[in-house]
Amino acid sequence: MNIPLLDLKAQYRSIRSELLAAVTDVLDSQIYIGGPKVAQLESAIASLSDCAYGVGVSSGTDALLCSLMALGVKPGDEIITSPFTFFATAGCIARMNAKPVFVDIDPATYNLDPAAIQCAITRRTKGIIPVHLFGQMAEMDPIMEIAERHGLFVLEDAAQSLSATYKGRKAGSSGIAGCFSFFPSKNLGAAGDAGMIVTNDESLYHRLVMLRSHGSSPKYYHRYVGGNFRLDPVQAAILLVKLQYLDSWSEGRRRNAARYDQLFAGSEIVPPYRDPDCVSVFNQYVVRVENREEAMSGLKAAGIATEVYYPLPLHLQQCFVDTVPKDLHLPVAEEAARHVLALPIYPELTPEMLDYVGSVLLNACTRQPAAV
């Protein structure tokens, strides 16, 4: 049995006619910049996120970059963030000539440890970027309390957590803004790069709208130096079709995660921790295993694809060697990077496929047959 880490073709087959019709509508309209599809998606994602405003942009990376520009981040500013995430989080800080300040993560959730944030604040600290990793939100109450006490902005990197909740609050709605990615592998994925920024701050919203189009308002009159961060209407049309299915897809991922949990109960495989304050959307299902290389080899031999998110924490990346203190040691993130392993979790997986993945992994980790 061959099981990919993500099967986009299975999803596509189920909604192919709707997607083709949506793309044809855009082609027939000949509106390729802005237009009603982009505005409709902005409104829908803002509403889904319990926010007043949505700003469609060209990628999740550009959502972060445009937000930092709008928040007035300057060279030398320090932004506290996670070392255990995709590169864009810290890369956008560095592109602003600001300094990413990495602090350690919670060993259970892999999200930022609020206590570590408090210890990292200096007079140069401008803001905090918590990452809602693998579909589960960070502990936003203590993060927001720290930020308010020190006058810092909180920009949520919610690229992996659209519609996830913390204490009933949606991802992107607690901080000054939230950033989403619609990269094809995300739970809500475009046919290429696309992203969104949500906010409840009206003045920030207007700056974001200008900055995504070279800082202009009206056209040819430039208040800021912005960029070309616009969301394509074709991508917006595709995402509007898929958005109708997002809730059911998320339920499917949670159902699959629950089956994996049952399979791994009592074994040495550590399943994802569920924060009782959160509802996860399981963008990834990430386990911890001691003998990862052996486990991956066993899964590969059985036709099962896996991935390591993430093999090298950001504070150890070569590009940050001159900005990160040489003696910085973040043991939780470093330990996680040695043992995490992502398994297939997409909603199209059948019970038989889930059981097969679980059985193979249990065998690879225990070296003995596992009952399913």
pLDDT tens string 307-366: 999 999 999 999 999 999 989 999 999 999 999 999 999 999 999 999 999 999 999 997
From 260, 309, 8, 258, select the one nearest 131 (Cα to Cα): 309
Looking at the structure, tell me whether residues 214 and 254 fall in a common domain.
Answer: no
Alpha helices (H) in 159-211, listed in sequence order: 202-211
Q: Do you find a cis peptide bond into 310, omega within 30 degrees of 0? A: yes
Looking at the structure, tell me whether residues 349 and 233 fall in a common domain.
Answer: no
* In the predicted structure, residue 371 carries a pLDDT above the cut 70: no
Looking at the structure, tell me whether residues 270 and 325 fall in a common domain.
Answer: yes
Looking at the structure, tell me whether residues 186 and 301 fall in a common domain.
Answer: no
Question: Residue 130 domain-assigned?
Answer: yes
Which CATH number fits the domain that encloses residue 347?
A: 3.90.1150.10
* pLDDT number for residue 366: 79
Looking at the structure, tell me whether residues 24 and 142 fall in a common domain.
Answer: yes
Looking at the structure, tell me whether residues 320 and 255 fall in a common domain.
Answer: yes
* In the predicted structure, residue 3 carries a pLDDT above the cut 80: yes
Q: How far apart are CA 287 and CA 291, in angstroms?
A: 12
**Residue 370 pLDDT grade (very low, low, confident, very high; cuts 50, 70, 90):** very low
* pLDDT number for residue 367: 59
From 90, 133, 139, select the one nearest 115 (Cα to Cα): 139
Question: Residue 1 domain-assigned?
Answer: no
The domain tally of the chain equals: 2
User: 264-295, pLDDT tens digit by residue?
Assistant: 999 999 999 999 999 999 999 999 999 999 99
Question: Residue 2 domain-assigned?
Answer: no
Answer whether 224's CB lies under 8 Å from 215's CB: yes
Q: Domain limits at 356?
A: 246-366
Question: Residue 212 domain-assigned?
Answer: yes
Looking at the structure, tell me whether residues 274 and 331 fall in a common domain.
Answer: yes
Answer whether 126's CB lies under 8 Å from 68's CB: no
Looking at the structure, tell me whether residues 124 and 16 fall in a common domain.
Answer: yes
* In the predicted structure, residue 368 carries a pLDDT above the cut 70: no
* pLDDT number for residue 249: 98
User: 107-120, pLDDT tens digit by residue?
Assistant: 999 999 999 999 99
For the chain, the average pLDDT equals 96
Looking at the structure, tell me whether residues 127 and 259 fall in a common domain.
Answer: no
Looking at the structure, tell me whether residues 212 and 75 fall in a common domain.
Answer: yes
* In the predicted structure, residue 9 carries a pLDDT above the cut 60: yes
* In the predicted structure, residue 369 carries a pLDDT above the cut 50: no
Domain end position, chosen among 243, 259, 278:
243
Looking at the structure, tell me whether residues 69 and 175 fall in a common domain.
Answer: yes
Contacts of 52 (CB under 8 A, 6+ apart): 46, 199, 200, 202, 205
* In the predicted structure, residue 58 carries a pLDDT above the cut 70: yes
Domain end position, chosen among 213, 243, 273:
243
Domain end position, chosen among 220, 243, 266:
243
User: 211-240, pLDDT tens digit by residue?
Assistant: 999 999 999 999 999 999 999 999 999 999
Looking at the structure, tell me whether residues 234 and 263 fall in a common domain.
Answer: no
Which CATH number fits the domain that encloses residue 208?
A: 3.40.640.10
